[in-house]
Structure 1
Amino acid sequence: MTTFLGRHDEADDHIITLIGHGADVRVVRAGTDKRSVLGGFAEALALPVWFGHNWDALVDALRELANDDARRIELVWDHTHELRERSPETFAIVVDILEQVADERDDLGLTVIDR
């Protein structure tokens, strides 16, 4: 299940709640175009060197995303407003990818914050 929060929602409180529930919270800043989106995921999630900075590689990397202590991973894609406004197609592709991978994994939650 994906949680969508708007710019007037209490996004920071949501993140604090996720941490309080013991989740491994990973925050990724959205970027403004495809290149910066993929770079943001690579940097924030410390994706492996084989990450090819394309949509298929993002799917593969997210499928393999893990942590050392087997806690639930909560992926927070933050500051999406500018991307959604500038490049709605890129925004929609990323949401589709994130939801696809989250649906495949029992240990991955997803929050999209539009601020």
Structure 2
Amino acid sequence: MRVLGAQVDLDGLVADAVEEGRQVQVVRGRATKSETLEAFSEALNFPEWFGMNLDALADCLDTLARESEGEWEIVWDEAAALRREDPRAATGIESVLAELDEEHPSVHVTIIER
């Protein structure tokens, strides 16, 4: 998992990942935990049963990682909004993403702090 600063070129980052053969999904950060979980759900097309909590996020991401073919990258952009408003929720989501990155070598996680 990598954490990048605010000056990163998102379009360039995505283009580089695609060029390297990865499928890329960008999740736009939001200011609250529930809005951020909703953003993950929308960007990654989670099933209707998604429970809007960290355990459900971990379960859905794990399922996607196991079912995806090839390399896959999740980019959580604008993560700083949640960190400012709810640092505990931001840390929880980062923990879920770090575990996903660690357990699935074909999954790459990038967090952009802006």
* TM-score, reference length from structure 1: 0.90
1:21/1:94 CA distance change after superposition, 3 Å? same
The equivalent residue for 1:31 is 30
Q: Identity over the aligned pairs, expressed in percent?
A: 33
Q: How does 1:57-96 map to 2 (within 5 A)?
A: 57-66=56-65, 70-96=69-95
The answer to whether residue 41 in structure 2 is matched with residue 42 in structure 1 is: yes
Deviations 1:59-112 (A, max 9, x none): 000000159871211010011121111111111111011001111112110000
Cross-structure match for 2:99: 100
Q: Which of the pair is proportionally richer in helix?
A: 2
Whole-Å separation in 1 of the counterparts to 2:20 and 2:68: 15
Kindly indicate whether the alpha-carbon contact (under 8 Å) linking 2:65 and 2:107 is maintained by their aligned counterparts in 1: no
SS at match of 1:65: helix
- Cα 1:49–1:7 shift into 2, 3 Å: same
2:108 is matched with 109
Q: From the superposition, tell whether residues 102 and 86 of structure 1 become closer, same or farther in structure 2 (CA, over 3 Å).
A: same
CA–CA distance in 2 between the matches of 1:22 and 1:42?
Answer: 24
Question: Matched residue pairs, number?
Answer: 114
Letter of the 1:52 partner, please give it.
Answer: G
TM-score (norm 2): 0.91
Distance in 2 of aligned mates of 1:80 and 1:69: 24
- Give structure 1 regions of 4+ aligned residues with deviation exceeding 3 angstroms: 66-69
Q: Which runs of 5+ in 2 are unaligned?
A: none
Deviation at 1:44, TM superposition (A): 0.5
Please give the alpha-carbon distance, in whole angstroms, between the structure 2 residues aligned to 1:93 and 1:110: 15
**C-alpha displacement of 1:9:** 2.9
The gaps in structure 1 that reach 5 residues or longer are none
Q: Is the 8 A contact 1:5 1:11 kept in 2?
A: no
